Structure 1
């Protein structure tokens, strides 16, 4: 299936994104599309897609679009999104300041004159000029958007604002002309300042929205700042020159000085140092790096000087790919938002009908003024601008904060499901365990020391590639034991190895429990037990998940005895252990467990199981961040990030639900009040303030989520 991304302009609300999605989904081959107002991006999935055609379709729908080049530097793309968001915030700030500057002083003049009993004939003229100026300079954007939608036989949020402000203005203009031009007093008040007030207050709300949206995307900027803008290239003669990181290719040697960040992923070819990889992997302690070790872009070189050879070009570093994943997640939509978008799409026409019925009812009742004011109030109070923010704000915050912990969420849908998880299944090897056998115990017989037992065992195991052999040889190396060479080496599958060491026959016999019996000239001299070490945070992570009410299971292809032993050590119930399971068995087991479920594996041999669960979590190495089978990726050395991702998702889901309530609460409560004229002649102003307060409430709740997650992150570091 193909995926194409578009940059879409002039998106103002949820109705706009729904209109673009509807247009894109009508194209042959398109399976799904998602349009994010916050980032101005459309993601289209399907077969045999034509990017230019899709961009034209979106443009013809009234939203200028262009294809995002697949080869574009992710950091450049993030910068473009940031620039767009900042420009949007700046534009709304200008309109808000202009709107308040026009409305506030003339509103004060109006009320001051009324309270002092001043009835100058010039006052209506001043109100008329001020309101007209506001309609042109502040309302122009609203009107343009509404007219554009009308031309396509559509409505959007700006339709309500346009009709509300225009109704107040033209109603007042009619009265003004009647009184000032034809000298005929109709007996109705003018609402010039109310029209200006609506535009000013709504612009303030949009300014706050745009500013908060820009700040919510700050996690990507923080990530990209970790990658240096330039890299120091080493020439063949040993001299160095600086080049823009994005222009550096693969296979180039770079010099990384102490105290500087790694510019591009690579392998150490000279030098040794300790490197802080916390920004990518979440590992708090620096890691020793020697020749042959991998280096991750964005990591901090602490003590020594390193020379690395790049393994990717400067545009496809780990940091860049992480930023791209986070951007995609922030641009995606949760299922709950798609429902909200559908509601929003039909909400505007319904409100227009309610407003029309209200006017007709009041006219029949003989009160035209109340009918007019009530209708304008309904149009303004019903504008669910906050609805378009409710989900995206929470998703952007959660995805951004997750990335700062080394947790990568691929899409909003996964984030939403992770917050509802009732069952979590862990793969054993490489997930709950380290996936690297180590020597656990050495038992001596016949007066032989542990060092002697290791020496003989390591000698005959050195030529072997068996994981148990690797563990024994490594243990001997760790103890600085000199290992003599072996001759007449012989390996027997399923049994063990043998050979001659220092003229003696040495045999290592392995059993199914990974316990090795070491014989010297036919006599047992000791036993070595090898085990796959449990990850140090596994037990506490499982306890934390169980305390949250999540049912924890373990899957393994190992023998039942081994699996039960690991389960007992980490705290998983015996009845929740599924051992000796083939890949197809794992899929069947996951399908039979209560849902939504989450599968946590290494992303390589658990691909089918990851895909079978509702949320697949892959444990990856620092440079393996693009596992197709997983929805969420956590650092290889931080199993506790599984619990963190669920907690973040739950907090985000709670915030989304709260935001949706806040977005509709004012509308649902105020529409009946407005329809029955209970808000009085200041109804339109009260409506505008309530709509703005709805925005502020949603924004404030998202900011609260950001501070909560940030505080928790700092506390656990």
Structure 2
């Protein structure tokens, strides 16, 4: 309110080219709803669940659109699991293989038909998510977990049906049922532990006001929707309102809070001829704006497009389990075909089919379905206990590989709140009196600088004077009457305009450090100056030091001016500082850092950080930040403490180690079991039977479960 931040004068935002050629002007409202494809459950390609939603308009969603969709999918897997489990009990009881193993016999007319019917229900009902997911993986030419599971259950179902009614051989109905039940359990566990789903685009869309006060040709104010506005229309923005759309101010003066959009920590003084950004919050003044951009050309629409594009690019990543499953799929197909050809050449087609099916089933071990979900569930619980909310599993898995971490400044490395750093009274005044005068006047204002001075006054236990005749001097400062004296708190620009001299050397030293300076006058006589700055978080020093010690590059990218940024960068010992950048430029810088295969994490809290958070290999949001930043991020720091970044890296490394161990247990025995299932040692009388395979699989699953529970942050 009224405090002109001189350090920002060169940064008047006229040069903010929101029409950047870097940003495609494609309608985000008509964008396919693929932006949540990158989250969690998509490492197992549940894309079939998305198809019915793929043409939805983001603006039609309620705020819980995707969260509700995700919860629905969890419930769906839960329901399929319990129903399939219930049906599997009689399947196991009726299975000839289980009867032989446990030494009992069940025989009644139609027993084989009943076994077939129950298995058919489990195959089509319980196996549906995997069959549809496999079809999506085939279409996308990216085989993974779904295709491997489907290969095993289709082979088991088809072969078992043949043995039940047409050819000689043992059926695999019990293998089919147990495989589907365990895989459903694994997916249910994993999805339950990862309830986060991206609503970033919806949150961005919600930021835009729906209505505007249009000024017609006769000067009347009429209420219209933002969609009705055209370039050249004139609108009125009242104090405290959001600016509805991009335009140029032609009348009025005010301070505008653009911090959530541009990252600049101090509200910007705005007047005629200056640009106004849709979504920014107007201060005390009234502004009249001529609309310059509408629809997809507006600043916020382009931010939406950037986030959408970056999220879709990230969604192509594959999880570690999917990569393992892909190779197991190739091994199973190749070995299965070779087995069929080799044994088929002997003329015993029935035996050849049995060996091939055994290979295909054993290639998809039961433990593989639980190997990563159990680690996922455990690591998600550990993360939650340490104030970390994991939203994108694939991004989190690779956090331990990060080479560079990019920090936003305002609200991330700093508290986002101004605090008094220096007080310089004149020889005629004293420090306490100077602060008391400023504190008394500033209690009447809600400007960030005023809040900083008021906090300092309260922290020092000062009792403010009674204040009368308070006035805001727009663009200059504040004035009030205290004990019949006029007390003014004004900016350096206002001091120069008044022709009042001050200690330029001290002022320049403070300005070089990126601090904001205000002057206190009593009856036009200078009492002293007070310097304020965005307070650096105490925890920021620790996290930068530890990251540097680990050999990780630390970079700060901020929309704030270079003086402020360099001061913070020097204090913290950052590797690199990049200042005065716009959101699309932030994401461009992240792209540059990602060149040469570097893994980049980005930590931010504002709307202006959303495109960069989406672009980074790992997007991390401060929990106290905006909904947009949180919805765009892969991990959220619930306690808003940057030090928790270290826990992300440590937990990611520990989780990866457990996943490798579990996948080794889950798939390791395949190295032995697949060749034996193929009949490699048949000539010396040794061949692995489905019963032996089932026993080894059970042991492998138990080992994976125990190993996952041993996970902890190193």
Is the TM value for this pair above 0.5? yes
Mark the runs of 5 or more structure 2 residues left unpaired by the alignment: 1-27, 139-146, 198-310, 493-506
Q: Summarize the alignment of residues 603-614 of structure 1 with structure 2, pairs less than 5 Å apart.
A: 603-614=606-617
Encode CA deviations 1:38-72: one digit per residue, 9 max, x unaligned: 98972249985699xxxxxxxxxxxxxxxx99698
Q: Give runs of aligned pairs for residues 504-515 of structure 1, distance below 5 A.
A: 504=485, 506=487, 508=489, 510=492, 511=507, 512=511, 513-515=515-517
Q: Give the match for residue 157 of structure 2.
A: 162
User: Is it true that 1:592 corresponds to 2:585 in the alignment?
Assistant: no
Partner of 2:225: none
Task: Give, in angstroms, the shift of residue 601 of structure 1.
Answer: 1.9
Contact residue 460 and residue 489 of structure 1 kept, 8 A: no
Task: String of CA shifts for 1:282-308, please: whole Å, max 9, x gaps.
Answer: xxxxxxxxxxxxxxxxxxxxxxxxxxx
User: Which residue number corresponds to residue 42 of structure 1?
Assistant: 49
Aligned residue number for residue 335 of structure 1: 318
Q: CA deviation at 1:425?
A: 0.8
Instruction: Give the alignment partner of residue 408 of structure 2, picking from 427, 437, 450.
Output: 427
Q: Which residue of 2 aligns with 1:687?
A: 693
In structure 2, how many angstroms separate the alpha carbons of the residues matched to 1:35 and 1:490? 54
1:315 is matched with which residue?
A: none
After TM superposition, list the pairs within 5 Å mapping 1:443-462 onto structure 2: 443=424, 446=427, 448-462=429-443
Mind listing any 5+ residue stretches in structure 1 that lack a counterpart? Answer: 6-24, 52-67, 111-122, 175-190, 224-327, 713-717
Aligned match of 1:540 in 526, 535, 542?
542
- The structure-2 alpha-carbon separation of the partners of 1:643 and 1:45, relative to structure 1 and needing over 3 Å to count, comes to farther
Q: 1:667 to 1:42 in 2, by over 3 A?
A: same
Q: CA deviation at 1:156?
A: 3.0
In structure 2, the CA distance between the partners of 1:602 and 1:126, relative to structure 1 (3 Å rule), is closer
Once the two structures are TM-superposed, the CA of residue 436 in structure 1 deviates from its matched residue by 0.8
Q: What is the aligned partner in structure 2 of residue 483 from structure 1?
A: 465
What is the deviation of 1:127?
A: 8.3
Aligned pairs (5 A) from 1:267-346: 334-336=317-319, 339=323
Which SS does the other structure have where 2:49 is aligned?
A: strand
Q: CA deviation at 1:437?
A: 0.5
1:621 CA drift (Å): 3.5
- In structure 1, the partner of 2:496 is none
The answer for the alignment partner of 1:353 in structure 2 is 337
Instruction: State the Cα RMSD in Å.
Output: 5.2
User: Contact 1:662–1:698 at 8 Å: present in 2 too?
Assistant: yes
Q: Counterparts in 2 of 1:645-684, with a 5 A limit?
A: 645-678=648-681, 680-684=686-690
Query: Corresponding residue for 2:531?
Result: 529
Aligned to 1:322: none
SS of equivalent residue, structure 2 residue 642 = coil
Q: Which residue pairs with 1:93 in the alignment?
A: 85
Find the counterpart in structure 2 of residue 501 from structure 1: 482
- TM-aligned CA distance change 1:451 to 1:87, over 3 Å: same
Structure 2 match to 1:186:
none
Partner Cα distance (2:316, 2:705) in 1: 18
Find the aligned partners of 1:202 and 1:695 in 2 and give their Cα distance. Answer: 16
Shift of 1:222: 13
Alpha-carbon displacement from aligned partner over 1:475-512 (angstroms, at most 9, x marks no partner): 33453512332559674857x66665334454546543
User: Which residue number in structure 1 is paired with residue 555 of structure 2?
Assistant: 553
Aligned residue for 2:401, secondary structure, equals coil
Please state how far the C-alpha of 1:540 moved relative to its aligned partner. 2.6
Q: Secondary structure at the match of 1:590?
A: helix
SS of the residue aligned with 2:607? coil
Q: Quick check: 2:194–2:391 contact (8 Å CA) kept in 1? A: no
- 1:618 aligned residue: 621
Q: C-alpha distance in 1, partners of 2:436/2:151?
A: 78
Alignment partner, residue 84 of structure 1: 76
The answer on whether the counterparts of 1:441 and 1:528 sit within 8 Å (CA) in structure 2 is yes
Change (3 A) 1:525 1:376: closer
CA distance in 1, matches of 2:67, 2:157: 38
**Kept after mapping to 2: 8 A contact 1:622/1:635:** no
Task: Give the 3 Å change call, closer, same or farther, for CA 349–444 of structure 1 in structure 2.
Answer: same
C-alpha contact (below 8 Å) 1:376/1:684 kept by paired residues: no
Q: How far apart in 1 are the matches of 2:127 and 2:436? A: 85
Instruction: Count how many residue pairs are aligned between Structure 1 and Structure 2.
Output: 523
Q: Distance in 1 between matches of 2:165 and 2:438?
A: 96
Separation in structure 2 between the aligned mates of residue 695 and residue 106 of structure 1, nearest angstrom? 23
- C-alpha displacement at 1:430, in angstroms? 1.6
Q: Does 1:468 align with 2:449?
A: yes
Contact 2:480 2:487 in 1 (8 A): yes
| Residues 405 and 552, structure 2, Cα contact 8 Å, conserved in 1 | yes
Q: Contact (CA 8 Å) 1:394, 1:702: kept in 2 or not?
A: yes
Residue 359 (structure 1) shift: 1.4
- Looking at structure 1, the residues matched to 354 and 51 of structure 2 have their Cα atoms a distance apart, in angstroms, of 44
Q: What displacement does 1:334 show?
A: 4.8
Decide whether aligned partners of structure 1 residues 335 and 74 sit closer, same or farther in structure 2, where only a CA change above 3 A counts: closer
- CA change 1:334–1:657 in 2 (3 A) is farther
User: CA offsets, 1:444-472, max 9 Å, x none?
Assistant: 55475544222222344456665323321
Q: 1:696 to 1:145 in 2, by over 3 A?
A: farther
Structure-2 separation of matches of 1:656 and 1:463: 58
Structure-2-length-normalised TM-score? 0.58
Q: Alpha carbons of 1:435 and 1:100: their partners in 2 closer, same or farther (altered >3 Å)?
A: same
Report the Cα offset of residue 431 of structure 1.
1.1
